Structure formats: C-alpha cells, structure tokens
Structure 1
Amino acid sequence: MSEKVLMKGNEAIAEAAVTAGCRHYFGYPITPQTEIPEYMSKRMPQVGGVFLQAESEIAAINMVYGAAGAGARVMTSSSSPGISLKQEGISYIAGAELPCLIVNIMRGGPGLGGIQPAQSDYFQATKGGGHGDYHTIVLAPNSVQEMADFTMLGFSLADQYRNPVMLLGDGVIGQMMEPVEIKENNTKPVEKPWAAVGMHGRTKPNIINSLYLKANELEDHNNRLQKKYALIRENEMRWEEIYTKDAKLILVAYGITARIAQSAIDKARENGKKVGLVRPISLWPFPEPPFSRLSKTAKAFLTLELSAGQMIEDVRLATHDAKPVYFYGRTGGMIMTPMEIYQEITRILDGKEDK
C-alpha cells in the first residue's frame, strides 16, 4: 500500500501486521479493539495465513506461545481485561524468549470498567503484569500512522531480542480515523534456528522451555534475561521532545494525551509561558536521558495521564527528584481537554499549585 488511505487505528495495526509478514493471529473480541480480529479474519485467509478466534483470551495467548515456538511471526490483540487474562501466558513467553506482538487498546478499569478510552494499564505493561522478573518492550503510538509504523517495528524488535513486544494504545487512537500509509515492509521475518520445527538434520531437538527445576539453573536463566534487558535499555529508548530547550515547565504525556497536551502547549506559548513536552515512545525501556538533562534546566515537570497516576513514578525516578513532579489525570474513560491542561500549566507557573 503506497498511498495514504483513511483507516481506523485498529485497522492500520492489522494491515501493517500483514505487510510485516504476520501470518498467524489468535485473539478474542473485546471493545475497543474488535476491529483488529475482524480485519484479520478477512486478511489472513487472503495471504495464506491463519486466523483463529480462540475460546478465551487465555487460550489465545497460549496459541501465540505455540506458534512463536514454531518460529511463526505471530500476534494477538485485546483490551485491558483481556490482557489481564493473558498475563500468565505473557510471562511464559518472556521466560521462553519467544518473539511475538501483543496489542493492548486500553479501556477504563479496574475490573470490567467501561468501554471508553484510558491509560491505566501502564503498570501492567511496563512493570510486568505476570509473575517473575521479566519485561516486555512497550511502544506507545500517538497517531494512526504510528499504530502502523510501530506494529512493524514491534515485530522487528521481537525477533531481534527474542522477546514479546507490546503495542500499548488507547481507545481513542484505536477508534479514530486518519490518513495512513502502510509502508513497504523492511522487517522481513528472520531465520530462527532455535525454533521447534523438527530435527531437520540436527542431532538434538530444539526445546522451548521456561521451566528450570534446579534453582541454580533458573538463576542462570534469570541472569541471562537481565543482561538482555540491559542491552534493550541501552539501545531501544525512544522519545520525542517539543519546545524543551527553553522550557521552564516540561509536560510528560504519551498516546492521545500527548496530542491533547500539544494544543495546551501552543496556547501557553502564545501567552508567553515557556512550556515544553517530552513524549515517551518506548514506555519500557523508559527514556531516562531527556529527564536527566532537562531536570538541570526546567523548574518542574507535569505528568499527564488518563489514569490515577502511574507513569509519574518513572518520571520521578528519571529526574532523581531533582525538581517537583506534578500530576494531572482523568479516569474512567474521561478525556482531559487542552483547557484543563492549560489551567494546570498556569497554576504551576504562577505558583498556585496545591502543596
């Protein structure tokens, strides 16, 4: 697809996955991401792939485990409660070092919550929602174009590091429509000599496993994983900065909230307020360098989230509490407005913030 077409964010993810060589999709419908399995149910048969609507989210993630273990380029998608059900399987996949793409189009919680957009799965995605010391690489798009681009990037990173990658979107971007170009695939599936696909001349079979009954062997496995995560931290931090060079107040936001924040920043700048934005693109690994640098020049930071406050912890860690870190959020599917953010900016810069 070389021309821009009008697509929903969910549809852009699905078409980009097909273009990236994904030929196996396992999932279960849940609002607000159901367009992904719907789209894949049509496209997979057209490209000789496999679409399967599993009987549950738990079944779907374990099918992903099996397909990834056999070397397939595979993905699943869901929304917040469904991702919760997949957590044990995600931990298994990370422990077995299997590449796959997991899409979470977030909705409000906790529990079943509602079907409106939210960003309250940040902890679940970035801190490891399942058991054990593991990480998924987490990418946070803020446009339909990035939904497509990060899908392709996600498959590439998953193969490169033999690690699950999560695309963490919110219900707004999943449902909104924008012009998007599904770019030519430059992330062809790689050879996977470790895959469990039969002997093929080998003297020993490939074994896919995350079970180590001897404590010293499990510790060795964990130490190897931690070395891999350190390498990912070194190489895969991603972020965007807007108006940060002279900013006295740095807004921090991702996903749709970052786009809303840009409108508030434009208004603030028009009124002489020196405000900038850091948009984390990789939520894990969290992009620490801009915060360490800007904490030397900015007076304060304002974290904006569609949650009760989760990313704020990583912002405080990244700034080493060198400057105040304030928070403004909406929950339950409510979306903050540019004017709400502007009012927070004004309160902080005018010294009227809550103590």
Structure 2
Amino acid sequence: MRKQLMKGNDALMKSAILAGCRAFYGYPITPASEITEAAALYMPKAGGVFLQAESEVAAINMLYGASSAGMRCMTASSGPGIALMQEGISYMAGAELPCVIADISRGGPGLGNIAAEQSDYHMVVKGGGNGCYRTLVLAPYSVQEMADLTALAFDWADRYRTPVVILTDGFVGQMMEPVEFHAAATLPEPPAWAVTGHRETRGNLITSLHIGIDELEEHNRRLEAKYQSAQHEARVEEFCMKDAEIVLVGYGIVGRILKAVTAEARAEGIPVGVIRPISLYPFPAASLRKAVGHGLVFAVVEMSMGQMVDDVRLALNGMRPVEFYGRCGGNVPSHDEVLCMVRKLASDFGCHNISAQEKEQMVHA
C-alpha cells in the first residue's frame, strides 16, 4: 500500500476504521480535535456511527452502550476531557467492556494550555477512576506508530475485554509524516457476552455492580489476574543498548530527542543508549532490569515534573541510581539540554569517553 502524508491524529482515526471500529463518540478539544473531525468525515463512509456528544461524560457512557452491543468503538480527547471520563472508564473496566480511548495530552493542571505535555501519565497509567482496575496503555512516538498501535489497541481491547488507552502528546498528534496502513480487518462478529437484541443474548448481564463483598472481591481478583496475564504484552524499543553505561529512558516525542542525543554522544565516545517504553502498562520493567548488567546510571527524561520516573525506580528497585530531567508547560527538553546532562553524567559516573583523537589512534593501531 502506498504511503500517505498525514497528521498523527488523522492516521489514528483512519487506522481505527481499518481495524473495524464502527462507532465514535466524542467532544472536540485541542490538540485532539482532528481525531473527532476525521471520525465525522470517515465513519459514515465506512457505514459506522459518529456522534458529537454534549460532553466527555456523555461520550464515555455512549461507549459503554456501544461496547455492550459488541461493537468496536472509541473516543478521543485531551487531559481535561479524559479527566471527565474517569468514572465511565472505571465502569467499563469493571464491566469488562473493550474500547479504545485516545489521549493527546496537553499542558495542565486544570485548563492549562493547548501545548504538548506528558502530564497525563499518572491519570491514565495508574487509573484515574475509583476501584481496583487498570487500563492497558500504548505510547506512540511517530505517525506510523499512531496507525500501528491503534490497530493493536483494538486487538488488546477485545483480547482482554478492557479499555485500552493510546497516550501520546500534542506533537505526535499534530506532526505530519508518511504513513503506511495495514489492510482492512474483517469486521468481527459480536462476541457471545454482548447484548445485541437477539433472543440468545437476552440473558446476558453487563454490569460493574457486585453487591456482595465476597462477590466483589472475587471479581477484583479475576480482573487482577487478567492484568497480570497481559504482562507478556509489554513492548519496548532499545537503541544502542548493547554496551550503554548511561541509559536514557523516555516515551512519546521525547524518545525521538533521546535517540538524536545518543547518536551525537556516541560520536563523542560516550556509551549511552535509549530504552523507549512503547507500552506504559504493562510497563517493560524487564528491559530496564536487563540493562543493569552494563548500565551505571539511568536518566528519565519527560515533558512533566516526573511521572514515569517512579515506575523506572520501581523496576530497578535501587540497583542503580535514577536521575531525572524534565520540562513542562509546553516546553520540550531540547537536544542541547539533554546532551549537556549526558556529558555531566559521563563525568560524574566515570563512563568511558573516547576522544576523537583516541578513536583515530585505535583505527590506525
């Protein structure tokens, strides 16, 4: 299939339709509005349903109904809108209803601004609603991944009967890059648990209400077992990690900055590498622990005051020091800022730094 040049938000919606999504309910908000606009354009042409809800609260509850009927469905918003959806997301997790939710994050807290930020990590990855539940979370860093991970999100949602969140930042949503799409998926039949109106489904009961305390505890234990069974789905990209003594960790647009910094630092002889989590839940803790064998220090870089850094520290369990560098409010950690940090870490931790002259001598030795 020929590549197409488009925004990340548009690529996400087109991929959703190719993955069999046939219902979109949402309310526009910058920097996610193009997803709603694309849904309004494409969904009727695909024989699906598009509805601009009166609010984000209404949108998530419409998803509850569509998913209950066995339809692949989704919504999209940004931080303030996702915050309003948290009760409905908890209901859907409790009722084991699959759906896909895109969060194109912006500056906060509160209304904040419309610039890109990564400060929705805690709300999305840790579960912002009530009760013992998790959502599976994927974090694209390119327009191609916006397409690829959206298709994967629908598969995960159906496989684990749970909401799946695509969490990225305004830069990835708004940037334009060439993207290639997968062939359209065969529309799945409504699952056996759905309530479709047919006689054989009338006995199905979809609810998150479990009055008995033992009944609710058993339900929660079953949900937790499901989340644990998804741990093998963890996805990660490792870049120049074979001998990295300084390990940079970042997701979304930050991952692109870290890879560029690594290339320049490597040219200076600094042994640095990148671990880029692609799934934020399940978190790729095993990749971090594996890097302890050669990594002397880990440095987390985020467009926030430090939210993913806690998960990195938990994964390493004190085996190595974890540093943090962040910008927020719509500011982005610059190439030069991160490179300066890498050089300082190389000096502080005695990482092997081969000068250009030494390299030249090694070549001719």
* Common fold: TM-score over 0.5: yes
Q: Which amino acid in the other structure matches residue 149 of structure 2? A: F
Report the 3-state secondary structure (helix = DSSP H, G, I; strand = E; otherwise coil) of the residue aligned with 1:250.
Answer: strand
Count of aligned positions: 350
Query: Residue 313 of structure 1 aligns with which residue?
Result: 310
User: What is the CA distance between 1:161 and its match in structure 2?
Assistant: 0.7
Query: Residue 126 of structure 1 aligns with which residue?
Result: 125
User: What is the CA distance between 1:119 and its match in structure 2?
Assistant: 0.4
| CA deviation vs aligned residue, 1:324-350 (integer Å, no higher than 9, x gap) | 000000000101111110001011111
Q: Which amino acid in the other structure matches residue 177 of structure 1? A: M
Confirm or deny that 1:218 pairs with 2:221. Answer: no
Measured in 1, the distance between the counterparts of 2:94 and 2:25 equals 20
Query: Residue 158 of structure 2 aligns with which residue?
Result: 159
Q: Match for 1:207 among 205, 208, 219?
A: 205
User: What is the CA distance between 1:296 and its match in structure 2?
Assistant: 2.5
Measured in 2, the distance between the counterparts of 1:201 and 1:188 equals 21
Once the two structures are overlaid, the 10-residue window that deviates more, 317-326 or 193-202, is: 193-202
| CA deviation vs aligned residue, 1:106-144 (integer Å, no higher than 9, x gap) | 001000000000001111111111111101000000100
Measured in 1, the distance between the counterparts of 2:247 and 2:184 equals 36
Query: Residue 149 of structure 1 aligns with which residue?
Result: 148
Residues 1-355 of structure 1: matches in 2 within 5 Å?
2-186=1-185, 188-189=187-188, 191-201=190-200, 205-233=203-231, 235-351=232-348
Contiguous gaps of at least 5 residues in structure 1? none
TM-score (norm 2): 0.94
Taking a change above 3 Å as real, the CA distance of residues 135 and 191 of structure 1, as seen in their structure-2 partners, is same
User: What is the CA distance between 1:183 and its match in structure 2?
Assistant: 1.3
Measured in 2, the distance between the counterparts of 1:352 and 1:286 equals 27
Q: Which amino acid in the other structure matches residue 56 of structure 1? A: S
Taking a change above 3 Å as real, the CA distance of residues 248 and 123 of structure 1, as seen in their structure-2 partners, is same
Percent sequence identity is: 52
Paired residues of 1:152 and 1:185 also in contact (CA < 8 A) = no
Give me the CA root mean square deviation. Answer: 1.3
Report the 3-state secondary structure (helix = DSSP H, G, I; strand = E; otherwise coil) of the residue aligned with 1:141.
Answer: coil
Highest CA radius of gyration, 1 or 2? 2
Report the 3-state secondary structure (helix = DSSP H, G, I; strand = E; otherwise coil) of the residue aligned with 2:300.
Answer: strand
| CA deviation vs aligned residue, 1:237-270 (integer Å, no higher than 9, x gap) | 1101011110100000000000011111111000
Q: Which amino acid in the other structure matches residue 52 of structure 2? A: Q
User: What is the CA distance between 1:187 and its match in structure 2?
Assistant: 6.9
Report the 3-state secondary structure (helix = DSSP H, G, I; strand = E; otherwise coil) of the residue aligned with 2:117.
Answer: coil
Q: Which amino acid in the other structure matches residue 45 of structure 1? A: P
Q: Which amino acid in the other structure matches residue 156 of structure 1? A: D
Taking a change above 3 Å as real, the CA distance of residues 81 and 215 of structure 1, as seen in their structure-2 partners, is same
User: What is the CA distance between 1:39 and its match in structure 2?
Assistant: 0.8
Report the 3-state secondary structure (helix = DSSP H, G, I; strand = E; otherwise coil) of the residue aligned with 1:86.
Answer: helix
Q: Which amino acid in the other structure matches residue 215 of structure 1? A: I
Q: Which amino acid in the other structure matches residue 325 of structure 2? A: Y
Measured in 2, the distance between the counterparts of 1:46 and 1:238 equals 33
Measured in 1, the distance between the counterparts of 2:287 and 2:190 equals 36
Measured in 2, the distance between the counterparts of 1:190 and 1:319 equals 43
Paired residues of 1:79 and 1:106 also in contact (CA < 8 A) = yes
Measured in 1, the distance between the counterparts of 2:187 and 2:243 equals 42
Measured in 2, the distance between the counterparts of 1:107 and 1:84 equals 12
Contiguous gaps of at least 5 residues in structure 2? 351-365
TM-score (norm 1): 0.96
Paired residues of 1:74 and 1:101 also in contact (CA < 8 A) = yes
Measured in 2, the distance between the counterparts of 1:190 and 1:227 equals 26
Q: Which amino acid in the other structure matches residue 295 of structure 1? A: V
| CA deviation vs aligned residue, 1:184-215 (integer Å, no higher than 9, x gap) | 1347435400001134346x611110001111
Report the 3-state secondary structure (helix = DSSP H, G, I; strand = E; otherwise coil) of the residue aligned with 2:58.
Answer: helix
